[in-house]
Chains A and B, each alone.
Chain A
């Protein structure tokens, strides 16, 4: 006699398998692991800004020494330097540069902060951080290693989400171990990093050095005060550069006005002198058209640029991407020298004013 037991058992096991698979699939779909992650309420906040503030404070308060490379790309060429840095809280830093082909070596002393030559900062100053917080979003971006030290990576993001800078901050000392500045096209324009670093234990001077003051954005009344003295300059420049410094100075060439613009990452200094530019003494400079204007430039990391406009001489030094510098130059005053007829007309007006008894 044939019994149906084996076939029924096979169908039963097949059905059980299908049901199990369906149940498992349902469980997987309904699993919390596949649910949409909750929205981070701090997504648009500067969650890593305190890390940069700590880094700025550590650069002033900690005692350290080491070797750092500094590379700058600008106007189609790059410049790299190795710098020996020794920082003592309360006394500043001593930077030693080896001589290169077109630049003499030597030592410089910085009064405060963990600065390096070529204008690249080991840590952003408080003034830069205030403007940076307005223009960018600062967020943590994981961790990494620089010169054998564990570091937390901080990204500075534009409003469109593209990175404008990255900082590698030492997990132990909070010093900035590496810094990169990135332009709008994603190219690195400035990079500096320690290749060797020795950090000393915190000393008693740390507490006082950590509170170093820094200038903030220029107040409107201070701005008007400078303009009332006859200086003419824009309050902002393209690239979110805000005026945060305007002070008078004097040199052997006479008085001048120093203007400082920054977006929190880059710094553009503009110096204004009354007078006309003595181009005969501009050795090592070359004249070129930039933004439709005639300027004199010198290929240095600071992208030195000089021009004359309306009886004033403008000098620009920048630690900023080349496109930012170009935009700044275009937005600053450019008045061509008066033509022959303009000059004759002005002379005639002066002579008439001298002989006119009613003038």
Chain B
């Protein structure tokens, strides 16, 4: 039996493997109970995570991110070759086996790749900030802010403890206490 799929299992579940890699992984799964069980567990976990509500992203943030993006085709899936497999030749076409969209322009492609990396990083940072902010707000103490009424109520009570029940008043006034 060939080597277990390892982290390529996650890529398989996410649909990130190319045609050839996916076929190899599926062939391995057919004969490996251990990897098949792990794949089932991964599917269940990811379906549960997808079922969770995601925090709403503010509209202005979404617009800012959209403005940062350059026009271009969707990002291709990142190939994860099997160990021992020959590294696919670097071509200008899509890596998932789809036909090339036209004559390649390497400089333009690298620029687009960098731009997409920046977008990924920005989205990651913003998502982390939203998550941490949510946790910070949720983790706060649910108590109101108060200002001690020292000069009025507390002083009256304090003098009451000395057996006097003093009621501080404004100058020139007199008040009876029970």
Count of chain B residues with Cβ under 8 Å from any Cβ of A? 43
State in angstroms the CA–CA spacing of A342 and B145 once bound together: 20
User: From A348, which residue of chain B is reached at the shortest CB distance?
Assistant: B135
Q: How far is the CB of B142 from chain A (nearest CB, A)?
A: 9
Choice from B135, B148, B169 contacting A108 with Cβ under 8 Å: B169
**In the complex, chain A residues whose CB is within 8 Å of the CB of B162:** 115, 119, 121, 125, 128, 267, 319
The verdict on B178 contacting chain A, using a C-beta distance below 8 Å, is yes
Given A106-B172, A107-B169, A245-B154 contact (CB < 8 Å): no
The verdict on B115 contacting chain A, using a C-beta distance below 8 Å, is no
The verdict on A327 contacting chain B, using a C-beta distance below 8 Å, is no
Choice from B145, B158, B159, B173 contacting A107 with Cβ under 8 Å: B173
The verdict on A127 contacting chain B, using a C-beta distance below 8 Å, is yes
State in angstroms the CA–CA spacing of A348 and B150 once bound together: 38
Interface contact A347-B177, CB-CB below 8 Å: no
Interface contact B149-A252, CB-CB below 8 Å: yes
Q: How far is the CB of A346 from chain B (nearest CB, A)?
A: 4
User: From A56, which residue of chain B is reached at the shortest CB distance?
Assistant: B163
Interface contact B168-A269, CB-CB below 8 Å: no
Choice from A104, A277, A355 contacting B171 with Cβ under 8 Å: A104
User: From A116, which residue of chain B is reached at the shortest CB distance?
Assistant: B164
State in angstroms the CA–CA spacing of A277 and B157 once bound together: 20
Q: How far is the CB of B123 from chain A (nearest CB, A)?
A: 21
Interface string of A95-129 (1 = CB under 8 A from B): 10001000011111111110111010100011110
Given A106-B173, A121-B164, A271-B146 contact (CB < 8 Å): no
Residues of chain B from 134 to 178 with CB closer than 8 A to chain A in the complex:
134-141, 143-150, 152-155, 157-159, 161-178
The verdict on B121 contacting chain A, using a C-beta distance below 8 Å, is no
Residue contacts A-B, CB under 8 angstroms, 10 given: A106-B171, A108-B169, A110-B164, A126-B163, A214-B163, A258-B157, A298-B150, A306-B150, A317-B155, A346-B138
Beyond known contacts A251-B153, A342-B139, A343-B139: 12 more, CB 8 A cutoff: A94-B174, A104-B170, A106-B168, A111-B164, A112-B163, A121-B163, A258-B157, A271-B148, A276-B141, A306-B148, A347-B134, A350-B138
Residues of chain B whose beta carbon lies under 8 Å from any beta carbon of chain A: 52, 132, 134-141, 143-150, 152-155, 157-159, 161-178
Residues of chain A whose beta carbon lies under 8 Å from any beta carbon of chain B: 92, 94-95, 99, 104-113, 115-117, 119, 121, 125-128, 214, 245, 249, 251-254, 258, 260, 262, 267, 269, 271, 273-278, 281-282, 298, 302, 304, 306, 311, 313, 315, 317, 319, 338, 340, 342-351, 355
